Amino acid sequence: MSTLLEVKELVVRYGGIEAVKGINLHIHQGELVTLIGANGAGKTSTLNALAGLLKPASGEIRFEGELLNSSPIHQLIQRGLALVPEGRGVFPRLTVEENLAMGAYTRKDKPGMRADLNQVFESFPRLQERRQQKAGTLSGGEQQMLAIGRALMGRPKLLLLDEPSMGLAPLMVQTIFSVIQRVAKEGMTVFLVEQNARLALQSAQRAYVMEGGMIRFNASANECLSDPRVRLAYLGEDS
Amino acid sequence: MDIFLQQVINGLVQGSLYALVALGYTMVYGIIELVNFAHGEVVMVGALVGLSVIERIASRGDTGWGVIAIGVLVAIPSCMALGLGIERVAYRPLRKAPRLAPLISAIGVSIALQQMAALIWGRNYLHYPDVLSNPQFHIGGAVITQVQLVILATTGILMLLTWLIVQKTALGRAMRASAQNPSVAGLMGVNVDRIIALTFLMGSGLAAVAGVLVGTYYGVGNHTMGFMLGLKAFTAAVLGGIGSLGGAMLGGLLLGVIENLGAGYLGSVTNGTIGSNYSDVLAFLMLIAVLVLRPSGLMGERGSEKV
Ligand SMILES: Nc1ncnc2c1ncn2[C@@H]1O[C@H](COP(=O)(O)OP(=O)(O)O)[C@@H](O)[C@H]1O
Ligand SMILES: [Mg+2]
């Protein structure tokens, strides 16, 4: 298994506040890895640094062996990284179709784009029904589908997801997670940040547990599910 | 003579020029929420560059629309370069500064450009050379001149073209996406700095055409002409809903028509107490009324409407 993403001693700061305190992690080609942790643990800061939205204060981010740290944000998608940001970040006054087209902004292969669009509509028929609607008029769940569909339109090598289940009804969460699991099974590498630890651990192969800006724990998802510390802190169970 | 129809025609012509300038304000505001106060000065530079070129050609005895067209073709790249330069020097370094900073920078650029223009072209009013025969046409009790018709046609085509680019092309989609969420647009691979520069480029090109048309229509130009014109066009953009392309067009036309109707009727309606010179006041009163009733302008969506 080759390493797709490798993070070394990553530090993210907001002014004086150190939100990520020198973490190490790696993701292999084809894996679905999750990063779980409580609110404020530093998950979003980590992901945003990987996606180029935040400049790391120090540390190394290597993608396919190459250093990403100083790449301008708009070049990362061409390298193969796509982020579904926290809060979805759809373009509210663009239509569903236009949002999806934005996901494929840097692509030139028309037939491939058409195939991917059909694939997205197959995964999320709701989006096809609403293709002409402004994204701002969609429900939260539909916006999450759109944000994921838009990221998939870039045909990334690594899909970064920030709390896709946040604020959604259980049925919607199921729809979205089944799509995430499917794209992972089809070979896409996925890094999934979640507060819904149970769901995340059930979907993933490996997990990192984050607390106070540091990685506390790193194991296979199954080990995590049966680990007493994780059960107590993140699954709401007594051991 | 049908005064009403005549003033509506004059108003539409003047308003279409406001609209062309208003597009530049509204596009820039839509994408970086900056009122580019130097935009009126870009129009002025377009008018004066055009004037110099047209004068040169006219002095050889050439006449006709071809001469004006050459003036426009030289003014466009001049204004585009100027607009790009302004963005690069005065706004881009302040992209992350508090909002007051770029505003002050804009006013500084505006003053600097006026003074530079005064150095190049002097402080007196310059007359646009008379290169057009400008025939008139009668329509139902009113008169429309060939210059007016050309202005209406040119501005109409340019507004349509701008609308098509913004609404129907991948570039326009990227512009709108960058306006709504620049960091996510960046994630999609959009080079937002380049999109912002392109917005200035488009607005400045339109300003160049507007400048030469204004000069041709009114026959004069000088280094301060951009101030009132810019203020009116900005008013039009706000009236229509700043950030909205359709709003800039509607606001421009409406402002032109109201001003001209005001000029035509204020005197007779008030028995001469308030003369036609108060038409500017009328225009701004209407702006206030619209903003009180509909703070986001006529076509602006509630909340933060952008391009
Ligand atoms: N823009 C910001 N400015 C200052 N502090 C921030 C900012 N964003 C996040 N933080 C702080 O950084 C820490 C980690 O936040 P975040 O990465 O959002 O955590 P998570 O995604 O795990 O909830 C928190 O203490 C949060 O308050
Ligand atoms: Mg978060």
Domain containing A212 — which CATH number?
3.40.50.300
Q: What is the pTM of this model?
A: 0.92
How many domains does chain A contain in total? Answer: 1
Give residue A107's pLDDT: 94
Only one residue has tokens 């488009």, namely B202
In the β-sheet with A17-28, what is the strand arrangement from edge to edge? A17-28, A3-14, A58-63, A66-67
Segments forming the whole domain that contains residue A65 = 1-80+197-239
pLDDT exceeds 50 at position A239? no
Task: Please list every residue in chain B whose beta carbon sits closer than 8 Å to the beta carbon of residue A76.
Answer: 187, 189
pLDDT above 90: percentage of residues in chain A: 83
Q: Residue-wise pLDDT tens for chain B (307 aa)?
A: 788 999 999 999 999 999 999 999 999 999 998 999 999 999 999 999 999 999 999 999 899 999 999 999 999 999 999 999 999 999 999 988 998 899 999 999 999 999 999 999 999 999 998 889 989 999 989 999 999 999 999 999 999 999 999 999 999 999 999 999 999 999 999 999 999 999 999 999 999 999 999 999 999 999 999 999 999 999 999 999 999 999 999 999 999 999 998 887 877 777 777 776 777 787 788 788 888 888 888 887 654 444 4
- Domain B2-302 grouped into CATH 3.30.1490: no
pLDDT exceeds 90 at position A238? no
Region of B139 please: left (phi>0), alpha (psi -120 to 50) or beta. beta
Q: Are the Cβ atoms of B184 and A89 closer than 8 angstroms?
A: yes
Average pLDDT, chain A: 93
| Distance, CA of A131 to CA of A95 (rounded, Å) | 7
Residue range A112-138: mean pLDDT, rounded:
96
Instruction: Give domain status of residue A37, yes or no.
Output: yes
Polymer length in residues for chain A: 239
Instruction: Give domain status of residue A124, yes or no.
Output: no
Choose the residue to mutate in A35, A44, A83, A196 for probing ligand 1, maximizing ligand atoms within 8 Å of C-beta. A44
* Comparison of pLDDT for A41 and A221, the residue scoring more: A41
Task: Please list every residue in chain B whose beta carbon sits closer than 8 Å to the beta carbon of residue A75.
Answer: 189
Give residue B288's pLDDT: 87
Q: Contact B68/B132 with Cβ under 8 angstroms?
A: yes
Which of A55, A86, A91 best probes binding to B when mutated, by most B CB atoms within 10 angstroms? Answer: A91
* Comparison of pLDDT for B271 and A111, the residue scoring more: A111
ipTM of the complex: 0.93
Which of B187, B191, B296, B306 best probes binding to A when mutated, by most A CB atoms within 10 angstroms? Answer: B187
Residue B229 vs residues A130, B8, B232: alpha-carbon distances, Å: 43, 19, 5
Nearest CA to ligand 1 atom 25: A40
H or E stretch covering B145: strand B142-145
Does B169 lie at the interface with A, CB-CB under 8 angstroms? no
The rounded Å distance from CA B65 to ligand 2 centre is: 62
Give residue A4's pLDDT: 95
Instruction: Dig out the tokens for A208 from the structure.
Output: 């990192």
**Nearest by CB to B173, which of A72, A92, A98?**
A98
Give residue B266's pLDDT: 76
Find residues 267-306 of chain B whose CB sits inside 8 Å of chain A: 301, 305-306
Greatest alpha-carbon pair distance for chain A in Å reads 53
Nearest CA distance, A93 vs chain B (angstrom): 8
Give residue B76's pLDDT: 98
Instruction: Dig out the tokens for A63 from the structure.
Output: 């993608």
The rounded Å distance from CA B248 to ligand 1 centre is: 40
Q: Is the CB of A206 under 6 A from ligand 1?
A: no
Of the ligands numbered here, which is closest to the C-alpha atom of A39? 1
Give residue B304's pLDDT: 44
Q: Are the Cβ atoms of B306 and A93 closer than 8 angstroms?
A: yes
Give residue A237's pLDDT: 66
Give residue B306's pLDDT: 47
Give residue B279's pLDDT: 76
| Distance, CA of B256 to CA of A216 (rounded, Å) | 67
| b/e sequence B61-80, b meaning 16+ C-beta within 10 Å | eeeeeebbebbbebbbebbb
Instruction: Give domain status of residue A229, yes or no.
Output: yes
Give residue B301's pLDDT: 66
pLDDT in tens, A81-104: 999 999 999 999 999 999 999 999
Instruction: Give domain status of residue A173, yes or no.
Output: no
